[in-house]
Structure 1
Amino acid sequence: MLDLSRNAVMRPEAIAAYLRRAALMGYDTLWLYLEDTYEVPGEPMVGYARGAYSEQELRAIDDQAHRLGIEVVPCVQTLGHFEQILQWPRFWPLRDTERVLLAEAAEGYELLERLLDTVRRCFRSTRVHIGMDEAHGVGTGGYLRRFGERPPFEILSAHLGNVLELCHGLRPMIWSDMYFRLGSATGHYYDPDTVIPSWVRVPDGVDLVYWDYEHGDQAFYEDWIDRHRDSLGGLPVFAASGWTHHRMWAALPKALATLEPGLAAARERGVREVAMTLWGNDGTECDYFSALPAVQAFADLAYGARPGPGSFAGSCDATLETWMAAAELDFLPGSGDPVRWRGNPGKWLLWHDPVLGFLASDLPDWLPGHYRDLSARLRAEKPGDERLDFPAALAGVLADKCALHLGDLSVLDRLESGVRALRALHRARWLADRKPYGWDVLDRRYGGLLARLDTLREYGPVAFEARDPYAPEGAIAQCLTHARVASASFIN
């Protein structure tokens, strides 16, 4: 699955390049995650200024996949993750919350029917993913004011039934997490004490997708698959992750450490369909091609083989060892079990404010050396290794950025030059693979960093008593967004 809704919309020719590699690996299905990034007749504000695919582009993607023996399944949203559409005044009356569509509103179902009719026309597949995940706060906003209080389980069940009537011959699937969240006293997806009421059943003809990107214990996956069967009435599709979200390069060690027990559990429990997801949370700064080692390993394991450098070289003409090494942008010496490690220092240290450095009080003094050594090791050996130029350049910049945070102002000139060169390299890669829409977000991030470096040059650092709010693990072990590290001020 390719997430094409978090700021970056891949060009059809880049998707075709991905498909060719996936076909060599043995994949037979591609899910396209499209929240609002497709044109809908009569709805010009859907995908407005976001790089929405035309129907012609979607058909071209489907045609290319079909030639390779791959089915393309559109993944849309019908409840949560609606913020890109609901931001516009035309759709304000359809808000439950800023991110959740107003269930039970007739005009909302008219919109959903237009969305579903569009993807039905563009793809050969008779399946559709209708989302419905992470609908946090459902029934608490516009719904409460318009229809009154109703238990969320009832809202979810009624809404699913209404959406089914709009599928018109398409077999839908949904993410299953909301059933577990609503059954939990804490709202936690993986709460072992969650209780799904006995009357709740997923309608016949709807497939559940159990997504789990976190666990290294096969027994946990088996338990959660059993809960789908026992509480919701059927075996789910299982979805793992290539861990491209919230970072600059795929977290390959974590992906490999979680997908292997997940696939083993799926096989043990008789699950018949599995998927690998590539998400782009917080701006899709990550190159999806960086996840290809995990995509290959997932296919190897699904076919009963052991992952290794030979299969990756065969499908991608690239060097597995070096691509794995690039993940050391985030996986630092001593980071321990990759299942438990969530840190993304390769991202957040780049964007962290250089003037205040409010999260840098406890950075280890060996960090500049780690990144300098990594930059030297990330050199292309095969034709498919050319994408390593970005993590190599990023590691070089991070070496100087960490040195700056540790008090070495002598690196400032080199750091500024490095950031400018990194931006140019990142932009070239983005525009080669993706539409120009969304790069504005990255321009502002790079521009903001350069502006703060200029302020640092003119006025020097600000003296204050720095703390590490993430002790005892430290900020270095956290997965942090750009907004969280660019400023200590929360601005909405």
Structure 2
Amino acid sequence: MDKIKSLGVMLDCSRDAVYSVETLKTYFDLLAKMGYDSVQLYTEDTYEAEGEPYFGYLRGRYSKAELKEIDAAAKERGLELIPCIQTLAHLGGLTRWREYWASCTDTGDILLAGEERTYRLIEHMFQTCAECFSSRRINIGMDEAHMVGLGKYLDMHGYRNRFEILSEHLRRVGEIADKYGFKPMMWSDMFFRLANKGEYYCAGGNIPQEAIDLVPENMELIYWDYYSQDKSHYDGMIKAHKQFRNRIVFAGGAHSWEGFAPFNRYSIEATRAAMRSCAENGVDDVFFTCWKDDGAECSLFASLPTLFCAAEFARGNYDDEKIAAKFRKLTGLDMDAFFALEKINLCESAGEIKNPCKYMLYNDMFLGIYDRTAIGHSGQEFAEARRYLERGTQSRRFGYIFKTLASLCDVLEIKFTLGLRTREAYRPGDKQKLLGLAPEYAELERRVQKFYKQFRAQWDRECKPNGFEKHDIRLGGLKARIGHCREMLEEYCAGKRADISPLNEDLLPAEEEKDGCSVLTNSWLHTATIKPLM
């Protein structure tokens, strides 16, 4: 490799989807052929921990036997399987249980630093990792613990400098890592945030000495960055990280966590800039994250173009034509076929990430929170996007991914503008026009059901059954809501309802974008409901 000595992938196995052992073996085959040498399984509470029955309870956690099988499969393919866990925050699947919130939770999803029950739990995590993984590298997490020390810790100890809290906790976790022979790495953002009023990106800024002294010298720092296509941005952040005495690992992103479709074109350009910067600035250990925020809706295999390009860039090959030819040989599909997956998000360029395919799927037809996105559109954009997916649906290996998004295109062809058209007919009292929309609501119910079956088939092919209950609720609820809205329209037109109050309200902008422009928002809860909090 051209100045890149280690190249890995991190798979998110914690956002509802826990990938089956067979899926991982298939994925490892592809990674090995591309030239990767390591894999991290991001498991918050989705693995077995001795003496912790609620750890991963009902989450589809990997058993010790499964972890050992996965480790052996990786080793057979020349891959180092590196445990990737959390030892401070992002443990909401765990802290929901009384066993943990009553004894070792600070606030939200953050463990209670300084509490002995916390360190017994973390020791049990390390016991599993030591028993089941051949590697003695470990990612201990510790990212985005924004509220550390401000919940139960504050009640117990009063306010303390949070650098000190983090330092003491990190020392205890480091001692446990040493006990089991692990060399730890951790995400770096908390050191930057505590030093820069919550901000992570501070290229060119000076890091306070207290932050530098906080990090044990044997701790590798992971500089993660997924949102820039500007090489100078990465240059500046690497320079900022080099103020620490620690070895730096870079983590890029294969964007597949903003809904049902990947963003390969954006990710490839961001990766191109990042890899050039890493090579020039002496960062030779790199991996790429495949996060799956808010439900793991995007197929694990949809990001193959990004990962393939990253591997080629690591070898110094930036020739797009040569890369495309090699990709076709590996997968049997052109990169353009995979790029067509993005058309469902109406993205015109490789420089934007907007996800209307998710938020307009769940956007309520009567509340219309995001209906201004649809102004000036007809819905036919999705019929056109579907045509671009046709070639991919013929693939024996990956056709199911394209079929899922083709089915979603069918849904959005109607639903994208249906709420807007309903309001436009209702406000002047055009009941004849409203009645004419009722069959579209009925057809939309049928299309949602078809999409549900296709998406469920995709999930069953890649994942354990656990976690899909969330999508049963989301899509089942969507179908029920469509039917309810249709019935309300029919009742209103028949004179059985005086009005439909949500449709009486003027639509306000939900975001800063202009009418007709898409946005990026990735919360089902904030899209489907108007009051998401208790």
**TM-score bucket (shorter structure):** over 0.9
Match of 1:147 in 2: 157
Cα drift, residue 488 of structure 1: 1.5
Q: In structure 1, what residue type is equivalent to 2:236?
A: D
* Corresponding position of 1:222: 235
TM-score by length of 2: 0.88
CA contact (8 A) 2:202 2:240 kept: no
2:492 matched residue in structure 1: none
Report what 1:246 is aligned to.
Answer: 258
**1:43 aligns to what?**
52
Q: Which AA in structure 2 matches 1:434?
A: C
Alpha-carbon spacing, 1:126–1:471, altered in 2? closer, same or farther (3 Å): closer
Q: What does residue 210 of structure 1 align with?
A: 223
For residues 99 and 439 of structure 1, the distance between their equivalents in structure 2, rounded to whole angstroms, comes to 22
User: In 2 relative to 1, CA 12–300 (structure 1 residues): closer, same or farther, beyond 3 Å?
Assistant: same
Q: Is the 8 A contact 1:355 1:455 kept in 2?
A: no
Match of 2:360 among 334, 349, 370: 349
Deviation of the 1:46 alpha carbon: 0.1
Aligned-residue offset at 1:365: 3.2
**Partner residue of 1:358 out of 365, 369, 374:** 369
The correspondence of residues 337-416 of structure 1 with structure 2, limited to 5 A, is 338-339=350-351, 341-379=352-390, 380=392, 381-386=394-399, 387-407=401-421, 409=437, 410-416=439-445
| CA deviation map 1:427-474 (0-9, x unaligned) | 111012101110000000101110110111100264221121313445
**Matched residue, 1:75:** 84
* Unaligned residue ranges in structure 1 (runs of 5+): none
1:312 partner amino acid: F
Which amino acid in structure 1 is aligned with residue 336 of structure 2? E
Counterpart in 2 of 1:162?
Answer: 172
SS in structure 2 at match of 1:166? helix
- Which deviates further from its counterpart, 103-112 or 300-309? 300-309
1:431 to 456, 460, 465: 460
Work out whether residues 74 and 80 of structure 2, in 8 Å CA contact, stay in contact via their aligned partners in 1: yes
Cα pair 1:3 1:278 within 8 Å, conserved: yes
In 2, distance between residues paired with 1:75 and 1:415?
A: 41
Deviation at 1:404, TM superposition (A): 1.3
Partner deviation per Cα, 1:271-308 (whole Å, 9 max, x = no partner) = 11000100011111111111111111111111111343
Matched, 1:104 2:114: yes
Structure 1 residue corresponding to 2:300, chosen from 271, 283, 288:
288
Q: 1:119 to 1:488 in 2, by over 3 A?
A: same
Q: 1:18 aligned to 2:27?
A: yes
1:42 counterpart SS class: coil
For the 8 Å contact 1:128–1:172, the answer to whether it is kept is yes
Please say if 1:58 is aligned against 2:72. no
CA 1:220–1:276: 2 relative to 1, 3 Å = same
State the alpha-carbon separation in 2 of the partners of residues 195 and 143 from structure 1: 29
Question: Which letter maps to 1:106?
Answer: E
Listed one character per residue, the Cα deviations across residues 187-246 of structure 1 (whole Å, up to 9, x for unaligned) are: 12114586532133321221111000011111110111111111x223411101111112
Per mean C-alpha deviation after superposition, the further-off stretch among 13-22 and 382-391 is 382-391
| Counterpart in the other structure of 2:425 | none
Q: Residue 480 in 1 paired to residue 516 in 2?
A: no
Q: Report the more deviating stretch, 415-424 or 312-321.
A: 312-321
> How far has the Cα of 1:332 moved from its partner?
2.9
Aligned to 1:305: 317
Q: How much has 1:130 moved relative to structure 2?
A: 0.3
1:319 and 1:382 in contact (8 A); partners too: no
Q: CA deviation at 1:370?
A: 1.1
The answer to whether the Cα contact below 8 Å between 2:203 and 2:233 also exists between their aligned partners in 1 is no
C-alpha displacement of 1:331: 4.0
Task: State which drifts further: 123-132 or 456-465.
Answer: 456-465
Alpha-carbon shift at residue 8 of structure 1 (Å): 0.8
Quote the residue 1:137 is aligned against: 147
Kept in 2: contact 1:183–1:195 (CA 8 A): no
Secondary structure of the structure 2 residue equivalent to 1:131: coil
Name the stretch that deviates more: 393-402 or 454-463.
454-463
CA distance, structure 1, for counterparts of residue 372 and residue 239 of structure 2: 45
> In the alignment, is the contact (CA less than 8 A) between 1:210 and 1:237 conserved in 2?
yes
Measured against aligned partners, the alpha-carbon deviations of 1:358-392 in whole angstroms (never above 9, x if no partner) come to 32034143351111101122113543341211111
Percent of residue pairs bearing the same amino acid type: 34
5+ unaligned residues in a row in structure 2: which ranges? 1-9, 423-436, 490-499
Report the CA distance between 1:177 and its aligned residue: 0.5
1:115 pairs with one of 125, 144, 148? 125
- Checking the alignment, whether the CA contact within 8 Å between 2:254 and 2:307 is kept in structure 1 is yes
446-455 vs 322-331, greater mean Cα deviation: 322-331
TM-score by length of 1: 0.95
Rounded to whole Å, the distance in 2 between the matches of 1:282 and 1:235 is 32
Equivalent residues of 1:241, 1:277 under 8 A apart: yes
8 Å contact kept, 2:203–2:239: no
Q: Say whether 1:471 aligns with 2:484.
A: no
8 A contact 2:32–2:77 mirrored in 1:
yes
Are 2:446 and 1:420 equivalent residues in the alignment? no
CA–CA separation in structure 1 for the residues paired with 2:395 and 2:335:
10
- Aligned partner of 1:190: which letter? Y
1:88 Cα shift?
A: 0.4
2:222–2:248 Cα contact (<8 Å) kept = yes
Any idea what the Cα deviations from partners look like across 1:97-133, whole Å, max 9, x if unmatched? 1111111111211110011111111010011100000
1:83 offset after TM fit, Å? 1.4
* Selected match of 2:334 from 300, 310, 319: 319
Question: Number of paired residues?
Answer: 486
Deviates more, 1:372-381 or 1:241-250: 372-381
Structure 2: distance between partners of 1:197 and 1:362: 44
Query: What SS is found at the alignment partner of 1:114?
Result: helix
Q: Which moved further from structure 2: 109-118 or 189-198?
A: 189-198
